[in-house]
Structure 1
Amino acid sequence: MAADRRIAEFIRDQLAELGDVQIKRLFSGWGLVLHGEFIGAVLGDEFYLKVDPYAFDRMSAEGGHAFSYTRKDGRLVTIDKWCSVPDAHLDNAASLTEYVRNMTGVL
């Protein structure tokens, strides 16, 4: 499922306090770039952060999950560097900004 750019724009607007978050095409979704580094992506209808194993474990404990997709050959691929952001943080800019800072280490 292709991601809706409007979701990426909403997330970018929520993260405005971090600086100039840019939206770039990424596979069938939209990548979010800050200071030249991908920090996250909107894939399908979910927002994922690029995180280390420690942050992944913390996010998973709060209901986040790894990005996964099915290859043309039917094999399921799971990418545990990308973890979905729990819904509780999405609608509040301050909460989402703090969450992204804590999970990715961006300033």
Structure 2
Amino acid sequence: MKDEDIRDLFVGLGPITIRRMFGGKGIYHEGVIFALEVDGEILLKADRESAPDFAEAGSRQWVYTGKSGRKPTAMPYWSIPDSALDDTEEMSAWARKAYEAGLRTRK
């Protein structure tokens, strides 16, 4: 996915920074990672508080399989709910939820 398209997706959240990482991209707002781009898909960060909301909205959790026969690992990133893809306001709300999860899990 092009950086310009990613910025357009998150325009309602405010300025974002995009950094290449692990063959994908990390997406940051105010220095906090809140999303990833992996294989052309945008995934939003969730935590114990927000993951149930993503599951209820029909999102799927990203499972990283890695290389060398590693055991699949569920990661704290979820697909964007389908209903948010065509609704700027809803997308902004999900992006804000992901940003807040990033703040809570920041070390």
State the TM-score, normalized to the length of structure 1: 0.78
Distance 1:48 1:62, change over 3 A: same
Distance 1:103 1:33, change over 3 A: closer
Among candidates 19, 27, 30, match of residue 24 of structure 1 = 19
Are positions 1:77 and 2:72 aligned together? Answer: yes
Q: Matched residues in 2 for 1:90 and 1:11: separation?
A: 12
Q: Matched residues in 2 for 1:14 and 1:84: separation?
A: 14
Contact between 2:35 and 2:98, CA under 8 Å: does it hold in 1? no
Coordinate RMSD, CA, aligned: 2.0
What's the counterpart of residue 38 of structure 2?
A: 43
Contact between 2:43 and 2:79, CA under 8 Å: does it hold in 1? yes
Counterpart secondary structure, 2:5: helix
Which consecutive unaligned segments of at least 5 residues does structure 1 have? none
Q: Matched residues in 2 for 1:60 and 1:71: separation?
A: 23
CA deviation digits over 1:12-68, x for unaligned, max 9? Answer: 212223221111112121111110111101111321111111211210121112212
Which consecutive unaligned segments of at least 5 residues does structure 2 have? 102-107
Q: Matched residues in 1 for 2:79 and 2:21: separation?
A: 16
- Pairwise mapping of residues 1-107 of structure 1 onto structure 2 (< 5 A)? 4=1, 6=2, 8-105=3-100
State the TM-score, normalized to the length of structure 2: 0.78
Number of aligned residues: 101
Q: Matched residues in 1 for 2:73 and 2:5: separation?
A: 26
Runs of 4+ residues over 4 Å off in structure 1: none
Counterpart secondary structure, 2:42: strand
How big is the shift at 1:103?
A: 4.3
